[in-house]
Structure 1
Amino acid sequence: MTTPLENPASTFLLGGEFSVARMGFGAMRLPAREITGPTNDPATSAAVLRRAVELGVNHIDTAWFYFYGALSANGLIRRVLHPYSEDLVLAAKVGPVRHRDGNWGAPAGPRELVAGVHRSLRELGRDHLDLVYLRLHEDDDDTVAERFGTLAALREKGLIRHLGLSNTTTGQLARAQRIAPVAAVQNMYGLLHRQNPDVLDACTQQGIAFVPFFSLETLGRPEPTEPLARIAARHGATPVQVKLAWTMARSPVVLPIPGTSSVAHVEENIAAADLLLDPEDLATLDALSS
């Protein structure tokens, strides 16, 4: 059983159904620190998963293409956490095609999307997936309806409970919503890279979960060490925790999923859910993008 986080503000009703801790966990770095390797120690990655759940995480983001060599995120999740707790929400992604050698193929068409969902079900040992994201690209406008419709049909069959979009625009979100409800959006977003703020605004207005990925990355920008260190010191926190707390403060629908292959880092990340920044802190951090 997971231990629910005590602060009610740290939970969110995903899809109007699942009460999840707002601080989740991203499984991408469980097989390897980088997508190109080298392979992590499986015992250490298993310990990271166990510790995340012990600390109250009940929203784990994964994908069948998170693998390196013979080690996969889905395989680790099943080995460590199955049989799953009733309150554990597993979110999967489909869209990219990745070959056994690790190389990427063309974006998935309807047949590959169906295969990706069934592969995720097999690897995770589930008869349904709680949430499935369709991963998009900037030039996917003409194919959103067909591809999202493919997943909507699987939802009608009971293989998927809720649908989401990843790497989406507001236009693509609107197109998808004409076909089926969208419970979550997963876009790249963080203190130093605030792409598509209109998508976050749309999610906030509609009560859609906004799940930022790479929220701790600088993406080539210089790290603003002085203000981060100063704010962190005042709160007895770390700069990483400040960045995560700022992200959560952007909207009550924000559900970060920081990933790591370190037990110490997963403890640090999850503790950030309890860090409340004051208005002065937020104003200082907001200004870092200008």
Structure 2
Amino acid sequence: MSSNSITNESDTFEIGDSTVHRLGFGAMRITGEDIIGSPEDEETAREVIQHAVDCGVDLIDTADSYGPAVSERLIGEAIGDPDDVLVATKAGLLRNSEGDWIAHGDPDYIRNQVLTSLDRLRTDTIDLYQFHRPDGDTDFEDSVATFAELKDEGFVDGVGVSNVSAELLDQAREQVEVETVQNRYNLNDRGSREVLEICDDEGIGFIPWAPINGDDLAEHGDLLDEIADDHDATRRQVALAWLLERSDVMLPIPGTSDTEHLESNVAASQLALREEDVQRLTNAAE
């Protein structure tokens, strides 16, 4: 598909009081290698963020652990706090120099992190604040209660959870209105099928992370290539278009550090798959 005049043409979805296009942008890859430290060219990273907005992307997802701190800072520097872009961030993971991801849902830590995220994102209120991962050393309900309190206190507008089971999602919803769930989900990895069904039934946004993971796409490469050839598209565009067709609450956030790759991802919102294409892809990993 051509990259000329690329505009986000995905349908819209309401997250709290905000209406966003369902195809968003994941800002994990604008950091350094292994998601540690700054990228080689910070100006290019800021240009990618701004270009996403210019292409009509109004849902940007990040986390305090991306860098750590780097992704949030670059977003704040690139776009500040525009009224027409929803910036979602997450707390609940620690990083170290080896690149490990360490669950840490202690309420005092979360309260500290919201202040640092507000500063880096250059905002007074975080649009969507997500609990990044349940912590085996901290009671899940205590962690979620902290997010609920931050909402009541005006630090955040909406609360989301990530990497949760159906049972944990139910527990979270007993304490706070859950705007979104962010779990791994793509053409080949559908382990969160039950959680997606709950989100479908309840109108909760479902943000699939690793939406176009290369290894997962390779499992169905022949089928993706066949459909892509029919539409003059790429296999990644087909996989993204399938996600958008899969559910009205699906909010894919493909990430990249390259403007050309960004445009290719956004162009997937213009790809109209045939009903038979969608069904074949849906059946591929059932």
SS in structure 2 at match of 1:162: strand
Q: 1:235 to 1:173 in 2, by over 3 A?
A: same
Identity of aligned residues (%): 35
CA distances 1:58-95 after superposition (whole Å, capped 9, x unpaired): 11101111116xx811111111112x321111101011
Is 2:86 the partner of 1:89? yes
C-alpha spacing 1:104/1:136, structure 2 compared with 1 (3 Å): closer
Which moved further from structure 2: 42-51 or 236-245?
Answer: 42-51
If the length of structure 2 is used for normalisation, what is the TM-score? 0.91
The one of 105, 109, 130 equivalent to 1:112 is: 109
Cα distance in 1 for partners of 2:276, 2:37 equals 41
The residue that corresponds to 2:133 in the other structure is 136
Aligned twin of 1:77? 75
Task: Report the AA paired with residue 188 of structure 2.
Answer: L
Q: Report the alpha carbon displacement of residue 219 of structure 1 after superposing the two structures with TM.
A: 4.5
AA matched with 1:88: V
Q: Secondary structure at the match of 1:67?
A: coil
How far apart are the structure 2 equivalents of 1:220 and 1:250? 17
How many angstroms does 1:102 deviate by? 4.9
Whether the 8 Å contact between 2:255 and 2:262 is mirrored in structure 1 is yes
Q: How far apart, CA to CA, are the structure 2 residues paired with 1:220 and 1:229?
A: 14
Which residue in the other structure is 2:39 paired with?
A: 39
Secondary structure of the corresponding residue to residue 29 of structure 1: helix
Partner of 1:203: 199
After superposition, the Cα gap between the structure-2 partners of 1:42 and 1:6, relative to the gap in structure 1 and judged at 3 Å, is: closer
Question: Gapped runs of 5+ residues in structure 1?
Answer: none
Q: TM-score, normalised by structure 1?
A: 0.90
1:139 Cα shift? 4.9
> In the alignment, what sits opposite 2:59?
59
1:222 and 1:281 map into 2 onto residues whose CA distance is 17
AA matched with 1:233: D
Aligned-partner Cα distance in 2 for 1:287–1:138? 34
Displacement after TM superposition at 1:148 (Å): 0.3
C-alpha separation between the residues in 1 aligned to 2:246 and 2:100? 36
Q: Tell me the distance in 2 between the aligned counterparts of 1:203 and 1:128.
A: 25
CA contact (8 A) 2:104 2:135 kept: no
Structure 2: 5+ residue runs without aligned partners? Answer: none
Aligned to 1:10: 11
Q: Is 1:287 the equivalent of 2:286? A: no
Q: 1:139-158, CA deviations, whole angstroms, 9 ceiling, x for partnerless residues?
A: 58x72211100111111100
Q: Is the 8 A contact 1:60 1:90 kept in 2?
A: yes
Whether contact under 8 Å (2:163, 2:183) holds in the other structure is yes
Cα displacement string for residues 165-201 of structure 1 (whole angstroms, at most 9, x for unaligned residues): 0011111111111111000000100001111201101
Matches of 1:100 and 1:284, distance apart in 2: 43
Q: Given the alignment, which residue of 121, 124, 129 partners 1:127?
A: 124
Separation (CA, whole Å) in 1 of partners of 2:110 and 2:199: 25
On the 8 A contact 2:8/2:21 being kept in 1, the answer is no
2:259 is aligned with 1:263: yes
Amino acid at match of 1:247: L
Report the secondary structure of 2:84's partner residue. Answer: coil
Residues 153-232 of structure 1: pairs in structure 2 closer than 5 A: 153-219=149-215, 222-232=218-228
1:27 maps to 27
CA–CA separation in structure 2 for the residues paired with 1:42 and 1:279 = 42
SS at match of 2:189: coil
For residue 199 of structure 1, what is the amino acid of its counterpart? Answer: V
Q: Answer whether contact 1:193 1:219 (CA < 8 A) is retained.
A: no
Q: Tell me how far 1:106 sits from its aligned partner.
A: 4.7
C-alpha RMSD over aligned residues: 2.4
Give the total of aligned pairs.
282
Distance 2:40 2:209 in 1: 21
Sort the Cα spacing of 1:38 and 1:60 in 2 relative to 1 into closer, same or farther, 3 A.
Answer: closer
Query: What is the Cα deviation at residue 240 of structure 1?
Result: 0.7
